[in-house]
Each structure stands twice: as structure tokens, then as C-alpha cells.
């Protein structure tokens, strides 16, 4: 006789669909409506709990104050609470991560797919920044595709390392600081982050630039470096990244990618990025290439071809056919063992301290890196059931 496990009074706990750095993720089903959600469990005995902090950020970001509607590309929280020995977060179930899809597409995306993704990813980062937070762990694993009518929408997840970069009321920016520990994933970290400089908006966007080139190239020049310790590995990654000119990194690809990275690296600490300019770079390139606005991502075409073929692998939407590590999760997968922040999570919405593996800060190149900007004069999510899935087109 099986025992049915419920959380929050109405969510039936199903099979495990992922494992995060701080807990496991399960498929949950609303016993009254049949709606499926992702349920993340975290032991109440964990040394550095993060689920409560994460749930607060999701709720804060989940409603766009400009429209009063759910924010596009931010997972919706259904419930958070503590039951027994677990902190529990029930949230919108999502599809595969971009890392999963990258592997599915044989670790290379077409230019069209990269440009479509870039447009949405910049929008997600801009929205988070507009709400006074920076993400600080931009990487393919933390972008997931939606399900059903949201299957073409890119979602940004895993706000365990997110931090306020300004006061939401006064808009006063946090102060410039140095000697900070590396927070995030070393493969995609900005050069300033490697140099120990406090992160700000420019760093999220620079990280995105590395993600886009990862999708273009299939790998980055600083991948696969070996070292005896994590600290030494961080140093090697930093050195290789600093010594790789942007034009070399982007060689063989449209100049817009180098322009994007050079722009991000030119920003000063408190500068507000021109998000529209960055999106226009890629949108204009998209139009010049004659691509259609059809949301035909590489994996969509591969799935269609597989379904039409008499034999071969198929890719079902949802949790069934893709790796489950990031399906409906709050950041269950990690891109590189040993390259990721593994220290204390931030527990307050107020700016906390960072704790991570200390790194040796390299001598700064004679560029804009690390130069503080001149002082500037800075001027509960309501729950609603998502609409039913549309009929097949």
C-alpha cells in the first residue's frame, strides 16, 4: 500500500526530477486541479539555507509593477512553507535549460537561434536590473524554456546569489569595493569579478556575452584548464580570459558579438547599460540575415524532424525526454564542478556579505577595469492559477 505525500495541503509529491546544490526537486501535482508544479525541498538543518531568500526574490520579481501582471520569463511561486524537516518551495514547472538544449543540439546553436535567445536574455536581465537586483550567476543552466504556450519564452531562474545593487526607493547605488570573493560561475564570470571588484549591472551583461560566444563556438578558450586546487583553477581561468582579446574570442562570427562585449567592458561601475542598444545590435543583424520571426529554434526543428522520421530519437516537451536536472527547478544543474560559488548564500533582501573561495587578484590591465565611476545623483505576489494549455496547433 503506497502512501501519498502532500505538501502545502494540496500538492501531491511525485517523482524526483532534479537535484540542486541545496536540495532535491520533485514533480508536484495539484490534487484539486491536476496542475503540475516543481517542488524544491531543502532540509531545515542545512548549514546555509537559501530557499526562503530565493522564494522572496521570486515573489518580488514575479509581478511586473509596470503592468500589474506576471513578469515575462520569471517563474511564478505557488507556495512556500516549512513542513516537518523541510523548507518547501512550489513553483511554476518549466522545460529544459539552455545547457540541456545545447547538448541536445550537439553543442552548437545556429546564428539564428543565438540571436533569438540573445534578445530575450537581454530583456530578462534588464527586467531584473530594473527591480534593483543583479543576478550574479548568468549561465546557460540558469535559463530555461517554458512549457505549452510558453514554450518559446526564455525564463531566468536561480536567484540564490542575486543581490541588490541599489536602494529600490532612493535608487542610490551600492559603493564601489575591491577585494571581493568570486561569486558565480568562473567560466562565465566577468573580468572585473575575477579581479575582485564588486559586481554591478555590467557584469551580468558581460557574462551573457560569454554565454552567447559559448553557444556560437561550442566552448570557450578557458574551458578544460587543469589545476590542483579550486583557487588555482580560478586563477588560470582568469588569466586566460584576460589574455584572450575580444576579437580573437569572436573571430569568425558577426562583429556584433565583439561590439557587445567591448561595450559591456567599457561600462563604469555605476553606469546604466543601454539595453535597447544591445538588443538593436542583434535585432538588426537578425533582419539583415533575413531570418523569419517564427520562434523556430534549433531544437524545435530537430524535434519536428525526429517526429516526422520513421525511426530515431524524439524530444517530448516537458520533463520526459530532456535531462531533468533543471526542469522546473531553481538552479539544479551546474556547468562546471569546481568553477562555481559554493559558499554561504545570502539570506536577506538587504545587501549581505559574500563568502566564497578566496582568489588571488591579478594585476589590473591598463583599461577601464576597476575604475570607479564618478559619483552620480541617483534619483507579496498575488497567486493566480495559470491559464489552461491551448489546444494543439
Q: Which residues pair with 170 in a beta bridge?
A: none
Distances (CA, A) of 46 to 51, 106, 283: 11, 37, 45
40 is in an annotated binding site: yes
Helix 275-288 × helix 255-266 angle, to 10°: 180
Nearest Cα residue to 111 out of 246, 261, 212:
212
Distances (CA, A) of 24 to 9, 36, 325, 372: 20, 16, 10, 41
Nearest Cα residue to 43 out of 104, 85, 106, 72:
85
Interatomic CA distance for residues 127 and 172, integer angstroms: 18
Q: Would you call 269 helix, strand, or coil by DSSP?
A: coil
Interatomic CA distance for residues 150 and 325, integer angstroms: 20
Whether 307 and 10 have beta carbons less than 8 Å apart is answered as no
Q: What is the DSSP letter of 183?
A: -
The sign one gets for the Cα dihedral 45, 47, 53, 58 is negative
Task: Count the neighbouring beta carbons within 10 Å of the beta carbon of residue 183.
Answer: 21
Task: Count the neighbouring beta carbons within 10 Å of the beta carbon of residue 365.
Answer: 12
Phi, psi dihedrals of residue 39, rounded to the nearest 5°: -120, 120
DSSP string, 142-181: GEEE--GGGTT-EEE---TT-EESB-TTT-PBPPP--SPP
- Given the residues 85, 100, 137, 354, the one annotated as active site: 137
The cell for 229 is: 586546487
Q: Would you call 14 helix, strand, or coil by DSSP?
A: strand
Whether 149 and 136 have beta carbons less than 8 Å apart is answered as no
Give rounded-to-5 percent helix, strand, coil for the chain: 30, 15, 55
Is 137 a residue of the active site?
yes
Interatomic CA distance for residues 211 and 92, integer angstroms: 25
From the annotation, which residues make up the binding site for ATP?
Answer: 40
Provide the annotated active-site residues.
Answer: 137
Amino acid at each position: 500500500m503506497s502512501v501519498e505525500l502532500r505538501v502545502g495541503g494540496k500538492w501531491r509529491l511525485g517523482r524526483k526530477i532534479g537535484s540542486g546544490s541545496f536540495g532535491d526537486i520533485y514533480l508536484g501535482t495539484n490534487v484539486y486541479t491536476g496542475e503540475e508544479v516543481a517542488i524544491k525541498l531543502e532540509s531545515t538543518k542545512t548549514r546555509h539555507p537559501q530557499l526562503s531568500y530565493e522564494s522572496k526574490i521570486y515573489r518580488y520579481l514575479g509581478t511586473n509593477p509596470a503592468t500589474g501582471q506576471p513578469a515575462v520569463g520569471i517563474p511564478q511561486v505557488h507556495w512556500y512553507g516549512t513542513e516537518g524537516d523541510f523548507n518547501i518551495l512550489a513553483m511554476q514547472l518549466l522545460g529544459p535549460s539552455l545547457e540541456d538544449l545545447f547538448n541536445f543540439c550537439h553543442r552548437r546553436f545556429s546564428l539564428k537561434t543565438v540571436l533569438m535567445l540573445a534578445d530575450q536574455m537581454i530583456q530578462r536581465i534588464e527586467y531584473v536590473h530594473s527591480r534593483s537586483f543583479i543576478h550574479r550567476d548568468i549561465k546557460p543552466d540558469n535559463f530555461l524554456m517554458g512549457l505549452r504556450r510558453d514554450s518559446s519564452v526564455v525564463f531566468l531562474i536561480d536567484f540564490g546569489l542575486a543581490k541588490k545593487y541599489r536602494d529600490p526607493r532612493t535608487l542610490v547605488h551600492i559603493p564601489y569595493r575591491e577585494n571581493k570573493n568570486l561569486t558565480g560561475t568562473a567560466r562565465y564570470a566577468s573580468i572585473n569579478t575575477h579581479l575582485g571588484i564588486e559586481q554591478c549591472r555590467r557584469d551580468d551583461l558581460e557574462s551573457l556575452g560569454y554565454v552567447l560566444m559559448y553557444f556560437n563556438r561550442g566552448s570557450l578558450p578557458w574551458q578544460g584548464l587543469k589545476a590542483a586546487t579550486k583557487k588555482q583553477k580560478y586563477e588560470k581561468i582568469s588569466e586566460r580570459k584576460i589574455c584572450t582579446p575580444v576579437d580573437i574570442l569572436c573571430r569568425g562570427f558577426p562583429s556584433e558579438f565583439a561590439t557587445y562585449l567591448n561595450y559591456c567592458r567599457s561600462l563604469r561601475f555605476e553606469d546604466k547599460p543601454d539595453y535597447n542598444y544591445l538588443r538593436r545590435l542583434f535585432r538588426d543583424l537578425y533582419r539583415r540575415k533575413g531570418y523569419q520571426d517564427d520562434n523556430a529554434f534549433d531544437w524545435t526543428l530537430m524535434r519536428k524532424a525526429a517526429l516526422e522520421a520513421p525511426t530515431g530519437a524524439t524530444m517530448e516537451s516537458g520533463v520526459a525526454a530532456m535531462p531533468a536536472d533543471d526542469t522546473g527547478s531553481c538552479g539544479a544543474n551546474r556547468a562546471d564542478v569546481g568553477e562555481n560559488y559554493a559558499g554561504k548564500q545570502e539570506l536577506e533582501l538587504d545587501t549581505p556579505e559574500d563568502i566564497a573561495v578566496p582568489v588571488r587578484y591579478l594585476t589590473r590591465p591598463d583599461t577601464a577595469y576597476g575604475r570607479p565611476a564618478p559619483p552620480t545623483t541617483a534619483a507579496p505576489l498575488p497567486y493566480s492559477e495559470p491559464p489552461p494549455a491551448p489546444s494543439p496547433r
